Structure 1
Amino acid sequence: MDRVRVLVVDDSALVRKLMSTMLACDPDIEVVGTAADPLIARDKIKQLNPDVLTLDVEMPRMDGLTFLENLMRLRPMPVVMVSSLTTQGAEVTLRALELGAVDFLAKPSSDLASSFGEHALEICAKVKQAAQARPRARTTVRKLDVAPRLSADAVLPRAQTAGTRGGSPIIAIGASTGGTEAVRVVLEAMPPDAPPILVTQHIPAAFSGPFAARMDRCSAMRVCEAQDGQPIQSGHAYIAPGSHHLLVMWDGAKYVCRLHDGPPVNRHRPSVDVLFRSLAASAGAATIATLLTGMGDDGARGLLELRQAGAATLVQDEPSSVVWGMPGAAWKLDAAGEMQSIEHMAARLLALARHPHTGAGGA
């Protein structure tokens, strides 16, 4: 297979060097060039024809968002934003994802001695996945130490499916790469009295609060970052904090959100598998669950557990996904009763909430 050709764009010489060094850890990646600002990058894109661009935001002569908007209009290509993990960085990064960036990663610091392998592994994985993505604009190799991959058993043992607690429907959404925009499309189409929606989106802790606030501004529902013990109510959507797993539990009278700071599952915290497993145990067939665009396979086994518990299950289709990893893995497991484009997902979720046994069938 041909190596993924990457152009690194950042005004900091140190960051360009760090990024190039980390990307060089993977024999399937080639850094074909670097650029200190967007105007130099524009010329190098023409000369070098890279597969993926890593792009900083604050740069001289033209900021990264302006460059990204022009690039996605004139020459769409996979772009991974390099962002600071701050509230301001979150707002800018979420805007970049709206404009068509595939994914984002934390800006590397000069103090990487203890975590170089972990950062390099993440950056290389995101760049390789970005190379396979379909951008959707609006209109010597170092050995890396890899932590063991845990399943949802590390947080919540699989239990017998409980009753449906009166049958009140709950909608659950899992997403990763490309998911911030996919979730927006779904929430924008929801009416103010929609069934409660639980969302696990792979996102850093500093980003989940601003993401929830952004979704609240664009949806008729009330959208918030979930809190431990918070009652789950119709007309509300709950976003998993970037630092905790989100679970749904029955407290004897109502469903509530529970936050769990257990280990990463499938290398993610929050994990979609954890949310889906908790719903299989607490809500069972009253759940309507969907797995949207994302890298990897987190959520696939959890969606299968939900289907086996009688829940209605769906996945986003490949043409409308930025990366058809998670939904594709679930589809291959026969975890989903049907496939839908992101444009039709909200209407289908609502229809299934009203008539849960008319499609996307349980096992």
Structure 2
Amino acid sequence: MAGKRVRVLVIDDSALIRKLMTEILGADPGIEVVGTASDPFIARDRIKQLDPDVLTLDVEMPRMDGLTFLGNLMRLRPMPVVMVSTLTMAGAQVTLDALALGAVDFVAKPQLDVARGLGDYAAALVAKVKQAAHARVSVRRPTAVAPGEYSGPVGYRTTDRLLAIGASAGGTEAIREVLARMPADAPATVIAQHIPAAFSGAFAERLNKHSRMTVLEAREDQPLLVGHAYVAPGGRHLRVVRSGARWHAQLCDDDPVRGHRPSVDVLFDSVARHAGGNASAALLTGMGDDGARGLLGLRKAGAHTIAQDKATSVVWGMPGAAVALGAAADVLPLDEIADRLLASASAPRPSAAKAPAPAAVIASDRSPRD
């Protein structure tokens, strides 16, 4: 896509939203809105005629809902899709369903009142559409979770190990797959995923249904227990603090870091400070570089660090930035990350490294999309 404008098809039943999104996207010199569609049947024909690079897709539309259309699209002609969602509980459930079907990312419905933040919305929409054009798109298939089938190491009944995971675009499904491979007694796990406040509770509930661990949205001063995973609430930073023999969750409303709250760097920095070599961390698919510096700090503190590889990342922005910094001890396909986290949690703790060694890149037979 280097040097080429991203060709976008806007699909929404609202004429006002189609007009607004066309103006926002068309104002960027790197984007060309090649057409619009008011329902999936019109969209189907325009995809064939216009061959866009990216779709923006609403959910509630006449004649066929957006999820049905997305499922058909990802089965017959997989391509990058950015969902346009409402910031409601119902909107959260539908958006998470869309991400499970293969959508790259999502944005909230635009506020039509400029005074309420249209500028911020426009910047997010443009950035996500541009990044989606480079995303690796594939049909998602759920990871089976059946009690008793886990074959990896078990026996983590201890409070002296901690796992940390960070992600952004593509991360809701990547985190689900990692947690689905964990045993019920895995070390306490803290998670920072870039997600709005209205969505994080539904995200934690969904993860809980697909994991042997108990998955919760983190609460202030909550003890971090074995067999539990804690998701940072949308719009709040999550930190880990030590209190006696236990770690606790600490939530705060400090300013966003590199545009994000929760920030992966904020979480990883706190884990490096309070857990150090007792921690293992993974940075998964995502846009930008949040978490890369935090992963480097963890590695220097003696933690075992992992970055998801390019071939299995929807967007190799955050893990790619970590690899470039030398922050990752291992670069692994998504389906190997859980086992590596568990193995490192059972290994003797190394001393803090003065300078990171080159990452051990594990080859994958899956071809990345450049």
Q: What TM-score do the two structures reach when normalised by structure 2?
A: 0.89
Change (3 A) 1:360 1:204: farther
Cα distance in 2 for partners of 1:170, 1:350 equals 10
- What residue in structure 1 maps to residue 172 of structure 2? 180
Give the equivalent residue in structure 2 for 1:305.
297
| Residue 92 of structure 1 pairs with residue 94 of structure 2 | yes
Question: Is residue 348 from structure 1 mapped to residue 350 from structure 2 by the alignment?
Answer: no
8 Å contact from structure 2 (residues 101, 139) kept in 1:
yes
Q: 1:361 to 1:46 in 2, by over 3 A?
A: farther
Letter in 1 for 2:304: A
Instruction: Give CA deviations for 1:188-215 in whole Å, capped at 9, x if unaligned.
Output: 1111000011000000000000000010
Distance 1:9 1:113 in 2: 25
Residue 56 of structure 1 deviates from its aligned partner by 0.3
Shift of 1:108: 1.1
Q: SS at 1:330's partner residue? A: helix
Give the conservation status (yes or no) of the 8 Å contact 1:265–1:271: yes
How far does residue 177 in structure 1 lie from its aligned partner after superposition? 0.2
Aligned-pair CA distance for 1:73: 0.4
- CA separation of 1:356/1:84 partners in 2, compared to 1, >3 Å: closer, same or farther? farther
Choose which of 195, 203, 206 in structure 2 pairs with 1:214: 206
Shift of 1:257: 0.2
- Which residue of 1 is the match for residue 147 of structure 2? none
Return the alpha-carbon distance in structure 2 between the equivalents of residues 237 and 361 of structure 1.
27
Structure 2 residue 59 is the aligned partner of structure 1 residue 57 = yes
Residue 135 of structure 1, CA deviation: 1.0
C-alpha distance in 2 between matches for 1:24 and 1:359 = 52
The alignment status of 1:119 with 2:121, answered yes or no, reads yes
Contact 2:56 2:83 (8 Å CA) reproduced: yes
Report how far residue 357 of structure 1 moved: 4.9
Which whole-Å CA distance do the structure 1 matches of 2:319 and 2:54 have between them?
Answer: 23
Shift of 1:359: 12
Deviation at 1:361, TM superposition (A): 7.8
> What's the CA shift for 1:302?
0.4
User: C-alpha deviations, 1:290-337, integer Å up to 9, x for none?
Assistant: 100000000000000110111100100000000000000000000010
Partner of 1:17: 19
8 Å Cα contact 2:184-2:213 kept in structure 1 = yes
Residue 204 (structure 1) aligned to one of 191, 196, 203? 196
Do 1:294 and 1:323's aligned partners in 2 also have CA atoms closer than 8 Å? yes
Q: Deviation per CA, 1:203-261, whole angstroms, max 9, x where unpaired?
A: 00000000000101110000000000000000000000002100000122311000011
Identity %: 62
> TM-score by structure 1 length?
0.90
Deviation per CA, 1:124-146: give whole Å up to 9, x if none: 0000000000112125xxxxxxx
- What secondary structure, in the 3-state scheme, does the structure 1 residue paired with 2:114 have? coil
Correspondence for 1:317 among 302, 305, 309? 309
Report the Cα distance in structure 1 between the residues aligned to 2:218 and 2:340, rounded to whole angstroms.
24
Q: Residues 249-328 of structure 1 correspond to what in structure 2 (within 5 A)?
A: 249-328=241-320
User: For residues 361 and 53 of structure 1, what CA distance do their matches in structure 2 show?
Assistant: 45
Equivalent residue in structure 1 for 2:106, among 98, 104, 107: 104
Change beyond 3 A, Cα 1:223–1:114: closer
* Number of residue pairs aligned between Structure 1 and Structure 2: 337
Residue equivalent to 1:8: 10
Taking the aligned partners of 1:21 and 1:260, their CA distance within structure 2 comes to: 36
In structure 1, how many angstroms separate the alpha carbons of the residues matched to 2:25 and 2:192?
29
Gaps of 5+ in 1: 140-165
Tell me the CA shift for residue 2 of structure 1: 0.8
- SS of 2:59's partner is coil
The answer to whether the 8 Å contact 1:352/1:359 transfers is no
8 Å CA contact retained: 2:159, 2:225: no
Name the SS of the counterpart of 2:245 in structure 1. coil
Partner-residue secondary structure (3-state), 1:181: helix
Q: What secondary structure does 1:50 align onto?
A: coil
Aligned with 2:122: secondary structure?
A: helix
Aligned to 1:250, what secondary structure does the other structure show?
strand
The SS at the match of 1:30 is: strand
Partner of 1:151: none
Residue aligning to 2:160: 168
CA distance in 2, matches of 1:167, 1:352: 15
Which residue identity does 2:341 align to in structure 1? L
Equivalent pair of 1:9/1:37 in contact (CA under 8 Å):
yes
- For the pair 1:193 / 2:171, whether they are aligned, the reply is no
- Give the conservation status (yes or no) of the 8 Å contact 1:313–1:361: no
Contact 2:277 2:351 in 1 (8 A): no
The alignment's C-alpha RMSD in Å is: 1.6
Give the conservation status (yes or no) of the 8 Å contact 1:87–1:207.
Answer: yes
One-letter amino acid matched to 1:27 = P
Three-state SS of the structure 2 residue aligned to 1:353 is helix
Deviation of residue 110 (structure 1)? 2.1
